[in-house]
Amino acid sequence: MARKNKRRPKRVVENMEHLPGDRIIGIETEFGCLVENENIRPEDVVEEIKDHVFRKLKLGMIDLQARDEVFEPAESGGFMINGSRLYIDAVGSHLEYATAETRTIKDLLANERAGQKIILQAIKDLELQDTVKIYNNSIDHFRGHTFGCHENYFVRMEDDFFSHRINHMFGFLVTRQIFAGVGRVGGHILVPNDRGPSYDEVMANPVDFVWVSQTYDAVPDPSVDFQLSQRADHILRTVASRVRFNRALINPKWEHFYSLNQMQRLHVLFGEANQSEYAAALKIGTTNLVLRLIEDELMPQEVLIASPLIALRTVSRDPNYQWLVTTAHDGEQVTAIELQRRYWRACEAAYAGKSPDADWILNEWQDVLNRLESDPLSLSDRLDWVAKRQIVNEYREDEGLSWQDDALHSVDLEYHNIDPDQSLYHAYRDHIPMRRVIDDLDILDATTDAPKNTRAFGRSKLVKELLAQSPRPRRYAIDWNGVQMGHVDYRDLEDPFQSYA
């Protein structure tokens, strides 16, 4: 019945052409929540924040149906008027924000930062700012948990993508942390947990252990003072589908709502929540170009590395910034900088002059690699790990502390506080100042406006249409690739490159 009455919106083709190298990009951020009141549960706080955003601020339509009976039951979240999705992930009961589909780095960063602004507005409306802190970070120093800032890239995948081509990506992902890492005090060692979760643990958090056949514990590693990456110690696979206690660099996703012809969503798990807009832009932009090399079959063989997971931790933990990796084709030891330059040279030869965005990325990529080689700590105005190291080290020296003092973990954490009035990053950014890619007005606009050149724009209009109905509709269903308006009116949003205006 619904298909018979299907209504397809008119498509706007102006500026919607899908050019070579053009792709859809997005970020999913899992936020940490700290409640400074033992009588308030963090799980209750994130529910209250979510409900306020949808029911009081009316910035989106909450799901009436379960997207997943286990992980995303009914009313656990919904789609927003800016094209994004805000929800509670049942694994860990944490707040998560998925950006709208975007085609430019500027739109992506504005939409991603807008999510933080919306969450912070809810906290202030609820008068919880003195009790509740939300963090855009990726590690729990004391309990050993790690949570992600995952990147999504719409990629043309041939049959050999995961059997062959993806191998050329690993060297890039494990070495890009020299400019994309957010830095962390200390480290973790993963140790086997032969006992598995206890009955009480499973009963307390049953969803956390769905599909989990083995678990591990994370214990502090006193041999590490400071490292580039928050997540390097926790990555166990290069590619894996079930990633709870089995985290990987890449998590394949095969979804009908995020596929088009031979294009599929590439879900990059090994990423971190950059506070620096510049570092985030460089991370996304360079990854975008490297993926284009893979699609165009232009990837040089000399970028293949031996034992990428060992290299991941070796690079992250190197206190002398030598960052050595071993190549697979001849066993040569090269620096992470040199390996990145091999990717850069291939991208420069293929894509220089193709677009202003590509040229900006190529120029900044080269400049950062040169500066990392000559004086890594000179990049405190643009790279998170350098800025954080400077903040933590100054505090350590002022207080006469060792690198193993627990107080440094608190300083590390406050770098990622999303509240500008409390965040050490924002204080540092205003003092240095840190390089920016967008401005505050871009972020403000992105709290209510979806990108105009992807299907997020069409979905946003439909969400606003539902919000405007009075009384509020009792029948609707919203997904990335379509919206059910009432009983029989289905709006198809199959092509993510179209605006469906």
> Per-residue pLDDT tens for 203-239?
666 655 555 556 667 788 999 999 999 999 989 889 8
474/466 Cα distance (integer angstroms): 10
Note the maximum CA span of the chain.
73
CA-CA-CA-CA dihedral for 15, 21, 22, 26, to nearest 10: -160
152 with 112: CB under 8 angstroms?
no
Q: Confidence band (pLDDT; 50, 70, 90) for 1?
A: very low
- Average pLDDT of the segment spanning 322-335: 94
- Average pLDDT of the segment spanning 183-210: 73
| pLDDT per position as a tens digit, 115-134 | 999 999 999 999 999 999 99
pLDDT for the residue numbered 199: 64
- Peptide linkage before 471 cis (omega within 30 of 0): yes
- Average pLDDT of the segment spanning 40-53: 95
Q: Is the pLDDT of residue 243 over 70?
A: no
Count helices and strands in the chain by DSSP H and E runs? 14, 21
Q: Which two tokens stand for residue 49?
A: 């924040």
Look at the block and give the residue holding tokens 């286990």.
70
151 with 27: CB under 8 angstroms?
yes
Q: Which two tokens stand for residue 284?
A: 């996304």
306/297 Cα distance (integer angstroms): 21
Q: DSSP states of 207-254 as a string?
A: GGGTT---EEEEEE-TT-SEES-SSGGG--EEE-S--TTS-EEEEE--
| pLDDT per position as a tens digit, 252-299 | 877 777 778 788 999 999 989 999 999 999 999 999 999 999 999 999
Look at the block and give the residue holding tokens 């975008």.
288
pLDDT for the residue numbered 438: 97
Q: Confidence band (pLDDT; 50, 70, 90) for 15?
A: very low
Q: Confidence band (pLDDT; 50, 70, 90) for 8?
A: very low
Least confident of 7-11, 356-360, 433-437: 7-11
- Average pLDDT of the segment spanning 4-32: 66
Least confident of 5-14, 57-66, 183-192, 399-408: 5-14
- Nearest Cα neighbor of 58 from 483, 442, 463, 458 is 463
pLDDT for the residue numbered 398: 97
- Nearest Cα neighbor of 479 from 499, 467, 501, 496 is 496
pLDDT for the residue numbered 215: 66
- pTM for the whole structure: 0.91
pLDDT for the residue numbered 330: 87
| pLDDT per position as a tens digit, 430-478 | 888 899 999 999 999 999 999 999 999 999 999 999 999 988 888 999 9
pLDDT for the residue numbered 3: 37
pLDDT for the residue numbered 232: 93
Q: Confidence band (pLDDT; 50, 70, 90) for 342?
A: very high
| Average pLDDT of the chain to the nearest whole number | 89
Q: Confidence band (pLDDT; 50, 70, 90) for 9?
A: very low
Strands 237-239 and 248-252 turn out to be parallel
- Average pLDDT of the segment spanning 163-191: 94
Q: Which residue has the higher pLDDT, 19 or 17?
A: 19
